[in-house]
């Protein structure tokens, strides 16, 4: 019942109004023209994710025009099945998915806001990635904007690249940053770190990867 209602709202209210702009392929999608009752949960380089305040259980992931990958993401969710550290896909159409909304904040936002990231979050994510491997998937593109935490628990929000059979060191590098820099220097005081500094680090990392 509610799923049908939210599909109608997406088709009749959200999609005809929302504007998604992909300015550079390596930068997040810019979202504008968000109708009343809808709130942006976040955006990545492919898609924007929103929820409707009357249906907070669902998150709608809308792919920007010309950004590929939605079919693969659906396939990944089918393979994953249910696991408490992942979302689920309830419905999909040409350019959007209806997912279970994960409560909490990304580890990236936790660093920006100065909220402490406990080690249990990191170990939950490790376990979730091991689980994905048992489902014949390959953890990929797991970094601080693609993982979330709530009440000391860790979640993986973005599985869109888990079908790619190629080595990805992002989570290994993110964990190294957590163990070497975060735990030793930031853990106790966890001061807020401005977005622009994290953006500089992100850009340096992108250069270093090339």
Q: Which residues bind Mg ion (CB under 5 A)?
A: 44, 146, 158
Nearer to ligand ADP, 59 or 110 (CB): 59
Q: Does 87 bind ligand ADP (CB under 6 A)?
A: yes
CA distance 154 to 129: 11
Among 185, 111, 107, CA closest to 153: 107
Residue with CB nearest Mg ion?
Answer: 44
Residue 47 belongs to what H/E stretch? strand 47-52
Residue 151 CB partners (closer than 8 Å, separation 6+): 104
Q: Does 101 bind ligand ADP (CB under 6 A)?
A: yes
Question: For residue 180, what are its two tokens?
Answer: 């070497």
Report the nearest approach of Mg ion to the CB of residue 45 (Å).
Answer: 7
Interface with ligand ADP by CB under 6 A: which range of 35-43, 89-97, 173-181, 195-203? 35-43
Nearer to ligand ADP, 57 or 184 (CB): 57
Stated length of the chain = 210
Interface with ligand ADP by CB under 6 A: which range of 12-20, 90-98, 101-109, 122-130? 101-109
Residue 5 CB partners (closer than 8 Å, separation 6+): 55
Supply the Cα-derived Rg of the chain in whole angstroms.
17
Report the nearest approach of Mg ion to the CB of residue 44 (Å).
Answer: 3
Nearer to Mg ion, 124 or 158 (CB): 158
User: Residues in contact with ligand ADP, total (CB under 6 A)?
Assistant: 20
- The CB density around residue 26, as the number of other CB atoms within 10 Å, is 9
Check: CB of residue 82 under 8 Å from CB of residue 124.
no
- Residues forming the site for ligand ADP (CB under 6 A): 41-47, 49, 59, 61, 87, 99, 101-102, 106, 145-146, 157-158, 160
């Amino acid at each position: 019942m509610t799923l049908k209602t939210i599909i109608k709202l997406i088709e009749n209210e959200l999609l005809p109004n929302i504007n998604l702009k992909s300015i550079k392929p390596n930068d997040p999608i810019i979202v504008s023209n968000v109708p009343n009752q809808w709130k942006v949960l976040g955006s990545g380089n492919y898609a924007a994710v929103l929820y409707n305040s009357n249906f907070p259980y669902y998150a709608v992931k809308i792919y920007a025009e010309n950004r590929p990958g939605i079919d693969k993401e659906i396939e990944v969710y089918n393979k994953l099945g249910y696991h408490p550290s992942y979302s689920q896909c309830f419905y999909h159409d040409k350019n959007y998915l209806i997912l279970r909304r994960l409560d909490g904040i990304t580890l990236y936002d936790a660093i920006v806001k100065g909220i402490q990231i406990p080690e249990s979050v990191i170990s939950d994510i490790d376990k979730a990635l091991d689980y994905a491997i048992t489902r014949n998937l390959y953890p990929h593109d797991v970094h601080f904007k693609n993982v979330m935490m709530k009440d000391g628990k860790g979640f993986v929000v973005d599985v869109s690249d888990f079908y790619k059979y190629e080595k990805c060191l992002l989570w290994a590098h993110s964990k190294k940053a957590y163990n070497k820099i975060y735990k030793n220097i930031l853990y106790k005081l966890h001061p807020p770190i401005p977005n622009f500094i994290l953006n500089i680090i992100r850009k340096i990392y992108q250069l270093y990867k090339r």
